[in-house]
Chains A and B, each alone.
Chain A
Amino acid sequence: MSKGRYGDFGGQYIPETLMNEIHKLEEAYEHYKNDPDFVAELDRLNREYAGRPSLLYYAEKMTKDLGGAKIYFKREDLNHTGSHKINNVLGQCLLAKKMGKTRIIAETGAGQHGVAAATAAALMGLECEIFMGKEDTVRQALNVYRMELLGAKVNPVTTGTMTLKDAVNEAMRDWTRRVDDTLYVLGSVMGPHPFPMIVRDFQSVISREAREQILEKEGKLPTAVMACVGGGSNAMGMFYNFINDKDVRLIGCEAAGRGVDTGETAATIATGTLGIFHGMKSLFCQNEYGQIAPVYSISAGLDYPGIGPEHAYLHSIGRAEYVPVTDDEAVNAFEYIARTEGIICAIESAHAVAHLMKIAPTMKKDDIIICCLSGRGDKDVAAIARYRGIDLHE
């Protein structure tokens, strides 16, 4: 069995043309992650460019209003570019430079990863092309323009469902064409090994900080940490340094779309089955013949038919829990946190907030929940208005 396994999940199921390249990537990563200069450079970028450490914010009003567990938010929305995606792209683009690459490509759903990748590419002088489902370029037109402002070329993908999965397909196809000068900067803890590991490691800064911050503020570990899950990068980042703290519940919130029984859903753990796709063995929404299912969520960033292999593993061993959250619940949470805490968070993050609103009141006052706010919600305002039947002209 190949490398990069989490139990039976993971692996390297990609065309032969890419195999040598991902071996080289793994080799480079294993070398540079222990290289003091690389580590120092990334640390400097994280602090002075991305604005880390991100705040761990005590949401006093929500805590009082919900009347149960003490609620903290890990404010990844306050990072430069407005989401946790910057953590990963700074690391991967730095790695691309060290590998002598001159060009990066990336897929994007909501545009958060695309904007982050375009930002890091601009900073480091790398050529950048983004693949984005045509459907998503419409849903997230503002982010398309942001990427272009940053000097990236945005390729609308018109195949399949024209969303995130198709953007990944197209990015992989592009990579096989230009494997020599290009690094595919994958945005989530998915794809073939070593991507799930690399992205997790770069994102694990979230829980490394959060663990220290909560111990400093509360003198104890949280009862639960939670995050939204599409591919699962902010959740993996939020979970990782708590995995060995057996008493800390890890809760991932999937996009149920219109509901897990409606067929218009992107909740992979709830509705998916074991499969092999996009380079990994994991859980996927698919039919009986293994055709990947069209999925749906209001959130372009969670609109993906699979989940990272380490999440599938944490689920299989019962270490992490995964719950579905509908569009409606997420939109309500989006509005609630805005009104209550003055935070407009991403619609992706609002999926985690929605579940937080369900469980916090059922918990004791000395329980603590840390919820990851993976991104800010400016990009979603127009879509939420539309959802509420308000015609908003940007």
Chain B
Amino acid sequence: MNRIQNAFNNKKAFIGFLTAGDPTYEASLENMRAMIKAGADLIEIGIPFSDPIAEGPVIQGADVRALKAGMTTDKAFELAKTLRSETDIPLVFMTYLNPVFKYGYDRFFAKCAEIGVDGLICPDMPFEEKSEADAAAKAHGISVISMIAPTSEERIKSIAESAEGFLYIVSSLGVTGVRSEFSTDLGSIMENVKKYAKVPAAIGFGISNPEQAKKMAAISDGVIVGSAIVRIIEKYGENSADEIYKFVRSMTDAVNS
């Protein structure tokens, strides 16, 4: 059984996102430790990109801070390696395709396998372009996580059937960022996904409080939270770990309540 599956075993998963190097290398490592201590089941480690077109202002800000602080793909690997030496929970990179392409697909996934990073999420690598990285990822046993959006409609079948690791269900139109309400009929999307998917499906984009997390967890296998955590860093800078612990704790309690 792979590590990603462990996150969903007999429970709803809480997946927390942070950008590596935001606001500094050390602080981001501390914040990830805080998430793990608070019960996060899977950590999404963002490798910052100069032009993250699927992100709202909050995560854009994190990318800017991290790059300014000197974050690189190599340092993100170093960070993941440190984390892996301390925990067995699944770790997944989230970044845009260009940093991965530029690093070299084979080199990137070989390094993931060596260190113990279990998967990759690339919002600008849709189903049609999966063949970019597929062969290299498979060769090293790394899951490429697919996304399903409210607009996916008849695409759900082919995406879900070929999904690896887990499915990332995008809650609503638009980019990442905190939302006060959700207009998408997620229930029927999830129903459709479940018909075809052999892997768990978690909902992300816009989930920012325990009440929303509970609702989303009730109709899926887990929730993904990013902007709401990054907002804490926006506010507390290098001293965010305690606040992140408290917030993630409230969220992990909510998803399994």
Contact = CB atoms under 8 A, between A and B. Distances in A.
A290 B103 contact: yes
Contacts of B151: 16-21, 179
Contacts of B153: 20
Contact of B152 (A19, A172, A273, A279): A19
A333 to B, nearest CB: 32
Given A11-B129, A12-B126, A13-B125, A178 B101 contact: no
Nearest to A172: B53
B60 interface: yes
Interface in A165-204: 165-166, 169, 172-173, 176-180
Given A20-B155, A177-B174, A169 B53 contact: yes
Interface stretch (B20-28, B142-150, B248-256): B142-150
Given A277-B51, A290-B99, A2 B129 contact: yes
A277 B101 CA distance: 10
B2 interface: no
Interface residues of B, number: 42
Interface string B128-171: 11011000000000000011111111010001000000000010
Contacts of A278: 51, 53
Contacts, number: 120
B243 interface: no
Contact of A290 (B57, B102, B148): B102
Given A13-B124, A13-B126, A173 B174 contact: yes
Contacts of A17: 149-151, 170, 173-174
A366 interface: no
Give the residue among A165, A173, A286 with the most B Cβ atoms within 10 A: A173
A293 to B, nearest CB: 8
B126 A16 contact: yes
Contacts of A1: 131
Contact of A176 (B72, B99, B152, B173): B173
A290 B174 contact: no
Contacts of B98: 275-277, 284, 286, 290, 292
A289 B125 CA distance: 18
Give the residue among B99, B128, B147 with the most A Cβ atoms within 10 A: B128
A3 B131 CA distance: 13
B49 A291 contact: yes
B123 A2 contact: no
Nearest to B57: A159
Contact of B127 (A19, A160, A176, A291): A19
B50 interface: yes
A314 interface: no
Contacts of B175: 173, 176-177
A14 interface: yes
Contacts of B129: 2, 11-13
Interface residues of A, number: 40
A318 interface: no
A119 B124 CA distance: 32
Contacts of A159: 57, 60
Interface in A332-347: none
B102 A289 contact: yes
Contact of A279 (B124, B127, B148, B174): B124
A13 B131 CA distance: 12
Contacts of A19: 126-128, 149, 151-152, 155
A15 B131 contact: no
A53 B152 CA distance: 42
A15 B50 contact: no
B51 A160 contact: yes
A13 B72 CA distance: 22
B102 A15 contact: no
A179 B148 contact: no
A165 B147 CA distance: 25
Interface string B28-71: 00000000000000000000011101101100100000010000
Contacts of A176: 54, 173-175
Given A2-B129, A290-B102, A291-B49, A15 B149 contact: yes
Interface string A1-39: 111000000011111111111000000000000000000
Interface in A253-308: 273-279, 284, 286, 288-292
Contacts of B74: 289
A165 B51 contact: yes
Interface string B73-107: 11000000000000000000000011111110000
A287 to B, nearest CB: 8
A307 to B, nearest CB: 15
A188 B225 CA distance: 36
Given A289-B99, A291-B99, A20 B125 contact: no
A16 B49 contact: no
B206 to A, nearest CB: 12
A273 B155 CA distance: 33
A82 B148 CA distance: 43
29 contacts: A12-B128, A13-B126, A13-B129, A14-B124, A16-B123, A16-B127, A16-B149, A16-B151, A16-B155, A16-B159, A17-B150, A17-B170, A19-B152, A20-B151, A20-B152, A20-B155, A159-B57, A159-B60, A166-B51, A176-B174, A177-B173, A179-B151, A275-B102, A276-B98, A289-B74, A289-B103, A290-B49, A290-B73, A292-B98
Given A15-B126, A286-B98, A290-B73, 16 more contacts: A12-B128, A15-B124, A16-B123, A16-B126, A17-B149, A18-B151, A20-B153, A159-B57, A172-B53, A176-B173, A275-B102, A276-B98, A279-B124, A289-B103, A292-B50, A292-B51
Interface of A: 1-3, 11-21, 159-160, 165-166, 169, 172-173, 176-180, 273-279, 284, 286, 288-292
The 5 closest A-B pairs by CB, nearest first: A290-B102, A177-B174, A17-B149, A2-B128, A290-B98
